[in-house]
Amino acid sequence: MIRLKELCILESKEALASIPQGKKLINTINAHSFNTAKKDKLFAEALMKGDYLIPDGASVVKACRWLKAKSRPKERIAGWDLFEFEMGRLNENQNENENKKRVMFMGSSEKVLELIRRKAAEVYPNIVVVSYSPPYKPEFTDEDNHGIIEAINAADPDLLWIGMTAPKQEKWTYSHWNELNIHCHVGTIGAVFDFFAGTYKRAPQWWQDHSLEWLYRLIKEPKRMWKRYVLGNPLFLWNITLEAIGIR
């Protein structure tokens, strides 16, 4: 069973630079994903056995302190922070005599991926973007999975982003990890695809600074987000309380 106080969580944005090169799986955790992992064993396993876990939620940061957890993050590290760091590092560490670094975006629709390719060409000129839009369905067939794996391996990227929303993206990547013949960091970042493409806007900076990005999303998309936040936030507090008193 997943327990927040036992997880190894990256503790600061500065620590992103300490992640070594090579094939590394980087996942995020927030109140919603923690709640989901409590009832989804494969998702919990994916979060616990990935290489790095970043705290994409102020609630996780505060809960780790309250629990006196193994890891006590100093700040929230959003999926967007991971994205900007990794993309910026690749774009800047480019020698004139080298081929451009290759970044692959796997997930989302072809429309969103096209917007990503266009914006990346402007913002990160030293990076080449390749992409793959998987079938839009709850479960992939063996043929679907083979196609995705084949596309990733053929691309042989220097950085791979997986964006299919949680928990699908984490479970898929973890389940097929040994079939991916790649040498790079892999981040499961979901909504960041839409943020970068411009098809969905992040909360303004004030909301982010005051740990209220969740409230902004709830106001913007009440029908889609009310269960996650209106029911999910109290559930997270309940789960953390049970963990604190040793019941879970």
pLDDT digits (tens, 9 = 90+) for 175-221: 999 999 999 999 999 899 999 999 998 999 999 998 899 999 999 99
- The percentage of the chain sitting over the pLDDT mark of 90, rounded to a whole number, equals 91
Taking only the tens of pLDDT, the chain with its 248 residues reads: 999 999 999 999 999 999 999 999 999 999 999 999 999 999 999 999 999 999 999 999 999 999 999 999 999 999 999 999 999 999 997 766 678 899 999 999 999 999 999 999 999 999 999 999 999 998 999 999 999 999 999 999 999 999 998 999 999 999 999 999 999 999 999 899 999 999 998 999 999 998 899 999 999 999 999 999 999 999 999 999 999 998 77
- Block residue for tokens 């992040």: 202
Quote the pLDDT of residue 97. 62
- Report the sign of the C-alpha dihedral through residues 77, 79, 80, 83, in that order: positive
Q: In what order do the strands lie in the sheet with 159-163?
A: 52-55, 24-29, 185-188, 159-163, 101-107, 127-132
Report yes or no: 235 and 35 within 8 Å, Cβ to Cβ: yes
Distance from C-alpha of 101 to C-alpha of 104, rounded to nearest angstrom:
10
Quote the pLDDT of residue 96. 66
Question: Nearest Cα to 73, choosing from 91, 86, 55, 88?
Answer: 55
In the structure encoding, which two tokens stand for residue 54, read together?
């970043």
Quote the pLDDT of residue 98. 74
Quote the pLDDT of residue 45. 98
Quote the pLDDT of residue 93. 78
